[in-house]
Structure 1
Amino acid sequence: MTFRSRLLITTSVVLIATSGMLSANTHPVTGETLAADQSFTYRVGDESPSIDPGLVEDTDGADVVRDLFEGLYNQDATGNLVPGVALSHDVSDDGLIYTFNLRENAKWSNGDPVTAGDFVYAWQRAASPELASPYSWYIDLMSIENSGAVIAGDMEPSELGVTAIDDLTLEVRLSQPLPYFPQMLTHGTTFPVHQATVEEHGSNWVLPANMVSNGAYVLTEFVPQERLVRTRNPLYWDNENTIIETVTKLVITDENVALTRYLAGELDRTDVPAGQFPRLSAEFPDQAVSVPEACSYYYMFNLRDGAPEELQNPDVRKALSLAVDRDIIVENVLAAGQKAAYTFTHWAVAGFETPDIPMASMTQEERNAMAQELLAGAGYGPDNPLSIDLVYNTDDGHRAVAIAISQMWKQTLGVDTLLSNQEWQTFLDARQNGDFDVARGGWCADYNEASTFLDLMQSQSGYNDSKYNNPEVDALLAEARTSDNPQANYDRVEEFIAQDTPIIPIYHYAADDMFAENLEGWPYENFEQQWYSKDLYKVAE
């Protein structure tokens, strides 16, 4: 997001921690001696477009939203569901009605009780055409009754299948059974918002002076493109077990500058710059960490009407995919535990078995030979070279990958590639509006099931920026949602992706970061890397 002027917004609220266990200066469970400084400062590469639960669409924004707001459920350190505002739920025999039992001691930061009606309002708002949320499709993906019609504007938001039976009982009606429905409830789009605050302040309700939230932290400072600070919420129901007092997100665009500041002790967490993990892990074995993360990195083709004609040919797209030496990308360019990707779905997704994609078992020499044959058959070669514009959001790692792939395309296929980097919000707008030939994509799971990746290939998906449209894929995905064993459907969808090549899967992520030696509680085993500052703490050195 680009801001022309510097804007400093802060509150004058002084928050006092009341936890008795902090006075004892030991962790209540482990008995470890706690550090006097219980602050957590971390780096992000760019400003998030929004921290409104109804509008949040990026992972960095989601990290903030999970601190400020709390949904029905949270995740523990290994990714299992644990109570949030909801203590439990019941499901009807046909799997269509979920009844959530809410805790009595959940409060908003202004002292109001959190009620079932807050969830009803938030979900209706997220689905409403008036809000025009980039994640409204997620409400439909949850199979909530009438969601499609509400999002399309054919029904009023009040017709959405969610009802407050009373203040502590929330009923959700689905249009079809969805076995993984509860797993979807840790996503920010499903979090409650305070209706009176939203209606009083409009879009400015997310500013520190106005925001009323129900999470473990409240927003106390926001300087766009610089910093965002959240501070312990004394009215949070589990405040007595929260240890970290303040959390500061710093926007530092250059990951090498961020590393320098981390090594100087200014940051508690930062990303490992591309290619530097082997050196850093050898030099700082207790600080450099790499674990599988539920994200896939890919390039997408613009398949809209009016997009470049050469990219409408699936042979051209497949040739470009074949010519990408993924092993070089993960072993030399990144070198931090990422894995080469020939499927869109991450290899470690729960219950997913990676299908056999012919390209994956070929040598790179065989892939290159096939790529050359396909491109020549499409009419491109020395006398008619292919030219491509490739856009990516500003980041040293994305730039390194783009340079490497453009060189592969040039050496193998003679393709000329124009690289263009854009700031995050400009980049998101360009993809959404179709202002690209080829664009970088990165998708992180909203829940731990293969459909969170493959549903992006559905023709009406809000994040199908390629505008790939295959009725067979749509039918397979629709059938998979109610199947007891959807693996066969997922196999076929991955085969269609490899055949039609609307995207080029490049690698599956690893979360590679530097962590301060005295920081504890990070959920390394949480595949989605859903972390909560309330679970972190610092030990005395």
Structure 2
Amino acid sequence: MKFSKFLASTALVAGLTLQAHAADVPDDVTLADDQTFTFWLLDAIKSMDPQINTDVEGSDVLRNLFEGLYNEDSDGQLVPGVALDHIVSDDGLTYTFNLRDDARWSNGEPVTANDFVYSWRRLADPATASEYAWYMELMQVENASAVIAGDMAPDELGVRAVDDHTFEVTISTPLPYFPQMLVHASTFPVLESVVAEHGDDWTDAGTLVGNGAYTLTQHTLGERVVMEKNDTYWDSDNTVMTELVALTINDVNQGLTRYLAGELDRVDVPAGQYPRLKAEYPAQASSTPYNCSYIYMLNVGEKGPEALKDARVRQALAYGIDRDIIVERILQGGQRPSYNWTHWAIAGFERPQLEWANMTQPERMERAHELLDEAGYGPDNPLELTLQYNTSEDHKKIAIAVSQMLKPLGVNLTLDNYEWKVHTDRMQSQDFDMARYAWCGDYNEASTYLDLFTSYSGHNSGEFYNVEYDRVMGESKTAENPLPLYQEAEEILGEEMPIIPIYHYANVDMVRDDIRGLPQNNVNQTWYGKDLYRVAD
């Protein structure tokens, strides 16, 4: 990615064109009168607070209400957001961002460098209790670890406002992909005066003040989110879509039904239905690689079952699952079987040679029997475990299939489903045996996956702690070529098996054929309402 380079501290980033990253409507296109985009959400959004939100669907909403330093274009390349460009010091440790002077909050106040300073400190501050505080550590922001641990005050974090339109960040280790990390919602600015005045209620519709292309006009938890075009946004003149509506529908099949009835403009395709829908609606059904991996997290910590503390048991569970059946018979949407954690489409990543990945499924089953027998389990002494998943017909289908696949090994799985908030709360408190989990990369680089299983991770819910793994990932931060270390980390995961890889995602959805501007070549599938428009029939 050539957007930023390690340049002399007095030089500007080369090659940036200050074009508006908003709807690019060709001259020969006639726009529809109705510029409303209605999209599907599976679950209620836990928080509209950028520093508190943890889920992908929440990020899709926050990306429209707030804007960070940079955005992504349809190919996943960085383009200006609040920052027009940046310079980086010779040693690669100081980034100085030049902020646009026409960025405004939705209440008309200017967006300044101090807003970023406040928000980044707020993310790291233990008082915020953000599950994403560790992101400051991943970005190597100076003193982040000490601030998060409470050993330093938040004002000692390596960020400062040089002036209203110059934001400076000091990091402890050069990271070539540092700018790519800045599209994540946790780094978005929030307005201190609004947070101070309204406390936890500052994110309510009508109260929330953002700096994005849209404002929040309605939020009925678990039902709908309505966002309307923000006229104070710096590029509002080029924003065509006037209203975004998100409908929460917990059943994927009902979501499809409502899409076919004309109530939605975009919806995920339920498992197994893509071939039929592609044949019937070739212009609306699509499948593209998506930077997410689907796993079962295993609780190997103190609160977890004793059996899962044995790596042989964990390996046997992983070996006993036939991923080809899940991908080819249940999902049928272009997903790929996974035998490792990092998504296959991540830029620059190559999966190491993992012995179990190259076995046939009968060979894996044979080895699973041997491992469980060594650990003292089998049909005569069955292994009793509970598998929990968040409410979804697709997750249910996979869980049922997995329970049947493992039964011949003498593994009895009890299936429990919970709505999203309860599911994630139980995982955070280690109140589970096995849990359905998916991670969507925060940026297009392998560390976004592999850092999750370090001891300092804020999302290592299974409490897998491994000194060697921490060492490898620590060394990767300063390696000229981190790929061998990433591969070593994957090998450790394959040996210790704190997770059961199931499949790598594809983005399989239905989109109205009069909607334009959604990305097709961005593995992160990052979209912005301001890029969208609806054409006339």
CA contact 1:434–1:465 (8 Å) conserved in 2: yes
**Per-residue Cα deviation, 1:226-267 (whole angstroms, up to 9, x for no partner):** 000000000100111111110000001111111111001110
**1:301-354 residue CA offsets vs partner (Å, 9 max, x unmatched):** 111114211111100110010011011111011010000001100001001111
Alpha-carbon contact 1:389-1:419 (below 8 Å) kept = yes
Check the 8 A contact 1:27/1:34 in 2, yes or no: no
Corresponding position of 1:273: 270
User: 1:440 aligned to 432, 436, 443, which one?
Assistant: 436
- Which stretches in structure 1 are left out of the alignment for 5+ residues? 1-21
Q: 1:43 aligns with which of 13, 19, 40?
A: 40
CA contact (8 A) 2:37 2:245 kept: yes
Task: State the 1:31 CA deviation.
Answer: 2.9
2:40–2:255 CA contact under 8 A, matched in 1: yes
Q: Report the alpha carbon displacement of residue 30 of structure 1 after superposing the two structures with TM.
A: 4.7
Show the counterpart of 1:512: 508
Whole-Å separation in 2 of the counterparts to 1:519 and 1:124? 39
Aligned to 1:463: 459
Find out whether 1:188 has 2:185 as its counterpart. Answer: yes
Structure 1 distance, partners of 2:481, 2:28, is: 45
Q: 1:53 aligns with which of 50, 54, 76?
A: 50
Q: 2:480 aligns with which of 472, 484, 494?
A: 484
Are the aligned partners of 2:377 and 2:410 in contact in 1 as well (CA < 8 Å)? no
CA distance, structure 2, for counterparts of residue 459 and residue 131 of structure 1 = 20
Matched, 1:323 2:323: no
Contact 2:303 2:430 in 1 (8 A): no
Indicate the residue corresponding to 2:348 in structure 1: 351
Letter in 2 for 1:221: Q
- The residue that corresponds to 1:528 in the other structure is 524
Determine if contact 2:381/2:410 at 8 Å carries over to the other structure.
no
Structure 2 residue aligned with 1:494, among 465, 487, 490?
A: 490
1:300 equivalent among 266, 286, 297: 297
Alignment of 1:120-519 (within 5 A): 120-411=117-408, 413-519=409-515
Task: Decide which of 26, 31, 38 is 1:29's aligned counterpart.
Answer: 26
Q: Distance in 2 between matches of 1:141 and 1:377?
A: 39
Query: How far apart in 1 are the matches of 2:494 and 2:454?
Result: 15
Partner of 2:127: helix, strand, or coil?
A: coil
- Separation in 2, partners of 1:425, 1:232: 29
Question: Partners of 1:415 and 1:504 in 2: how far apart?
Answer: 15
Equivalents in 2 of 1:282, 1:306: separation in Å?
A: 48
- Confirm or deny: 8 A CA contact 1:330 1:507 kept in the other structure: yes
Query: Across the two proteins, how many residue pairs are aligned to each other?
Result: 516
Q: How far 1:29 moved relative to its partner?
A: 3.4
What's the counterpart of residue 12 of structure 1?
none
Q: Residues of 2 paired with 1:418 and 1:297: CA distance?
A: 20
Q: Report the CA distance between 1:415 and its aligned residue.
A: 1.2
TM-score of the superposed pair, with normalisation by structure 2: 0.95
User: Does residue 87 of structure 2 align to residue 90 of structure 1?
Assistant: yes
In structure 1, give the amino acid aligned to 2:47: S
TM-superposed CA distance for 1:382, in Å, is 2.1
Alignment partners' CA distance in 2, 1:334 and 1:30 = 40
- 3-state DSSP class of the match of 2:459? coil
Q: SS where residue 206 of structure 2 aligns? A: coil
- How many angstroms apart in 2 are the aligned matches of 1:135 and 1:141? 10
Q: 2-side partners of 1:44 and 1:127: how far apart?
A: 29
Cα displacement (A) at 1:27: 6.4
Aligned partners of 1:27 and 1:33 also within 8 Å:
no
Give the TM-score, by structure 1 length.
0.94
RMSD value, Cα: 1.1
In the TM superposition, residue 381 of structure 1 has moved relative to its aligned partner by: 1.6
Relative to structure 1, the CA distance from residue 360 to residue 516 in structure 2 (aligned partners, 3 Å threshold; closer, same or farther) is same
Identity %: 55
8 Å CA contact 1:323–1:408 kept in 2: the answer is yes
Mapped partners of 2:326, 2:69: distance in 1 = 39
Measured against aligned partners, the alpha-carbon deviations of 1:272-300 in whole angstroms (never above 9, x if no partner) come to 01111111111111111110000000011
Contact 1:50–1:56, Cα closer than 8 Å, also in 2: yes
Contact 1:270 1:515 in 2 (8 A): yes
Q: CA deviation at 1:414?
A: 2.2
Q: Deviations over 1:145-200 (max 9, x none)?
A: 11001111111110000000000000100111111100000001111101111100
What is the identity, as a one-letter code, of the residue corresponding to 1:338?
Answer: Q
Q: Which runs of 4+ in 1 moved over 2 A?
A: 26-31
Quote the offset at 1:207 in angstroms.
0.7
Tell me the distance in 1 between the aligned counterparts of 2:236 and 2:318. 50
CA contact (8 A) 1:343 1:354 kept: yes
Q: 1:326 to 1:242 in 2, by over 3 A?
A: same
Deviation per residue, 1:16-42 (Å, 9 max, x gap)? xxxxxx9xxx96435311111110001
- Gaps of at least 5 residues in structure 2 are 1-21
